[in-house]
Amino acid sequence: MTIPTMRSAAEVAARLDQDHEVIVETLKELLRIPSVSALSQHRGDVDRCAAWLAEHMRAIGLEQVAVMPTEGNPVVYGDWLHAPGAPTALVYGHYDVQPVDPLDEWERPPFEPVVRDGSIFARGAVDDKGQLFMHLKVVEAYLRDGGSLPMNLKFLLEGEEEIGSEHLDHFIADHVPLLQADVAVISDTSMFAKGVPSITYGLRGITYLQVDVRGSAVDLHSGTFGGAVANPIQVLCEMLVALKDGDDRVTVPGFYDRVRALRDDERKAWSSLPFDEGLFRTQAALPANRPLRGEAGFSTLERVWARPTLEINGIWGGFQGEGAKTVIAAEAHAKLSCRLVPDQDPGGVAALVRDHLLRTAPPTVDVEVTVIHSGRPSLTPIEHPAIQSGLRALERGFPGQHATFIRSGGSIPVVATFQDVLGVPTVLLGVGLDEEHAHAPNERFHLENFAGGMRSVAHLWEDLARTL
């Protein structure tokens, strides 16, 4: 009989540092699979990515590993449950990635990962393959050669996060006993800034809509009819402009009704964060001297972390080819999304926006509004012991750096589902940087943060096992 080896987190962290180069080479294999969930032509790659992960999870010692079908892309599950009496964490990550367009802006092909200037470049490097891979490598380092983990772990890896996790809530509701845990852990967020490792305790929700405006049944000659009929593009623009007032406040009645006011202690804590407007501009790639813009009466951090928004994500219609064409298009279209904060309800806000657009539509056009997807906001109290464990783990994983609590303007809808359906809080221990081009060309992940993230996760399991 072999006696299981109880390694300390410090030993595991040291081993991960030692194995860094091999780990990066293996991550490249995962990054080479173009698992783009938005494009049906990549469905085979999505399945191949799920299979690659399942195989890797078995190889590192996870058990009950299975590629589990949903009505959309499969979920990959695996666990290690040999720490009786110790708590259980549910680790979530997503193996799908965003599309790569515009392809010609990539300095290297998006699915041919390379290491340059201390970062690994590829689509999915930071969002989220590199970050979910940290968790697998920590498991491997604990379990190798008959070792064991300080607590029980379950893995839930999703393939539809970037397209709204349409089938995940259903999957979770159908597998509550399988997924039951004391805490969820996700690495799919950013640090406040390089050198400031962070636990994210709040995420915004989202509701995504499409607006279709139709005038005539056909495109019209703009000489014959121009000036005498409504132009759907003009009408759509008027409707969109009217959605905000001069203070950049959303004019949809009831939009702000359920927005929870920022607590004074939170506002105070944020004002002491090392926020640097220059860095924020760099992250946003804004030319020097270009002013920021947002809702009147709020700071930049408040605008992105604690205020809801309405953004036009795309608009199209009419003639867009070379040269000129004198036409009044029959149709015009736009994609809109609202980022939401506690206690806004995505379905409720979608209905408010839709009803408002339908009510304010002039009789000269037909307007149709479709909800594409929605996700709820989330907020975890920073007093929660698991969140405090997360902060300590970061300080062990990034020695010499001071870790902090932040919120984020992005959305990970499953966090609200974990809270409501499984009754577990989520520790968002993410080590990306906002300047790493997630969703954009030349996505990258700083390898120093990748290494620090792995060390932190190694410490997190030891700390949570003691704390929960």
Q: Judged by CB under 5 A, does residue 434 bind Zn ion?
A: no
Which x/- pattern, by CB under 6 A, does the window 10-29 give for ligand BES?
--------------------
436 binds Zn ion (CB under 5 A): no
Whether cis (ω within 30° of 0) applies to the bond prior to 276 is no
d(CA 68, CA 74): 5
User: Which is closer to ligand BES, CB of 377 or CB of 410?
Assistant: 410
Question: 273: phi > 0 → left, psi -120 to 50 → alpha, else beta; which?
Answer: beta
Question: How is residue 387 written in tokens?
Answer: 């969140």
Which strands, in side-by-side order, build the sheet including 119-121?
A: 114-116, 119-121, 444-446
Q: Identify which of 30, 4, 217, 227 has the alpha carbon closest to the alpha carbon of residue 123.
A: 30
Among positions 78, 110, 197, 375, the unique one binding ligand BES when judged by CB under 6 A: 375
Look at residue 412 and give the partner it binds from Zn ion, ligand BES, none, a contact being a CB closer than 5 to 8 Å depending on partner kind.
Answer: ligand BES
Decide if residue 160 touches ligand BES (CB under 6 A). no
Q: State which of residues 198, 231, 344, 411 lies at the interface with ligand BES (CB under 6 A).
A: 411
Could you give the CA distance from residue 105 to residue 101 in angstroms, rounded to a whole number? 8
Q: Which listed option, Zn ion, ligand BES, none, makes contact with residue 411 (CB within 5 to 8 Å by class)? A: ligand BES
Question: Interface with Zn ion includes 127 (CB under 5 A)?
Answer: yes
Residue 448 in contact with residue 465, Cβ under 8 Å? Answer: no
189 contributes a contact to ligand BES by CB under 6 A: yes
190 binds, among Zn ion, ligand BES, none (CB under 5 to 8 A by kind): ligand BES
Pairing mode of beta strands 75-80, 63-68: antiparallel
Residue number, 231 or 408, with CB nearest to ligand BES: 408
> Segment near ligand BES (CB under 6 A), from 212-220, 265-273, 327-335, 407-415?
407-415
Report if residue 336 touches ligand BES, rule: CB under 6 A: no
Q: Are strands 404-408 and 198-203 parallel, antiparallel or unpaired?
A: parallel
User: How many CB atoms sit inside 10 A of residue 113's CB?
Assistant: 25
Distance CA 274, CA 198 (A): 12
Least separation in angstroms between residue 165's CB and ligand BES is 7
Q: Say whether residue 462 binds Zn ion (CB under 5 A).
A: no
Among 140, 161, 443, 463, binds ligand BES (CB under 6 A): 161
Minimum distance, C-beta of residue 208 to ligand BES, in the bound complex (Å): 7
End-to-end CA distance of the chain: 31
Residue 75, binding choice from Zn ion, ligand BES, none, Cβ under 5 to 8 Å by partner class: none
Q: Which residue is nearest to Zn ion (CB)?
A: 127
CB of 448 to ligand BES, least distance (A): 19
Judged by CB under 6 A, the stretch of 177-185, 340-348, 354-362, 410-418 that binds ligand BES is 410-418
DSSP 63-104: EEEEEE--SSSPEEEEEE---TTS-EEEEEEE--B----SGG
Q: Are 243 and 251 in contact (CB under 8 A)?
A: yes
**In the bound complex, what is the minimum distance in angstroms from residue 305's beta carbon to Zn ion?**
17
Asked if 190 touches ligand BES (CB under 6 A), the answer is yes
Residue 317's closest CA among 306, 304, 330, 326? 330
Nearer to ligand BES, 140 or 434 (CB): 434
Do 131 and 444 touch, CB atoms closer than 8 A?
no
Closest chain position to ligand BES (CB): 410
* Site stretch for ligand BES (CB under 6 A), options 50-58, 169-177, 256-264, 409-417: 409-417
Position among 45, 79, 140, 188 found at the interface with ligand BES (CB under 6 A): 188
Q: Which of 309, 378, 404, 408 binds ligand BES (CB under 6 A)?
A: 408
The token pair at 414 is 């499953």
Binder among 53, 206, 336, 457 for ligand BES (CB under 6 A)? 206
Residue 158 near ligand BES by CB under 6 A = no
**Whether 96 contacts 159, CB under 8 Å:** yes
One residue of 127, 140, 462, 463 binding ligand BES per CB under 6 A = 127
Pair 66, 55: CB distance under 8 Å: no
Residue 216 CA: distances (Å) to CA of 101, 232, 333: 33, 9, 14
What's the CA gap between 168 and 417, in Å, rounded? 9
- For 21, residues 6+ apart whose C-beta sits below 8 A from its C-beta are none
Among 176-184, 239-247, 411-419, 453-461, the segment contacting ligand BES (CB under 6 A): 411-419
Footprint of ligand BES on this chain (CB under 6 A)? 127-128, 161-162, 164, 188-190, 206, 375, 408, 410-413
Footprint of Zn ion on this chain (CB under 5 A)? 127
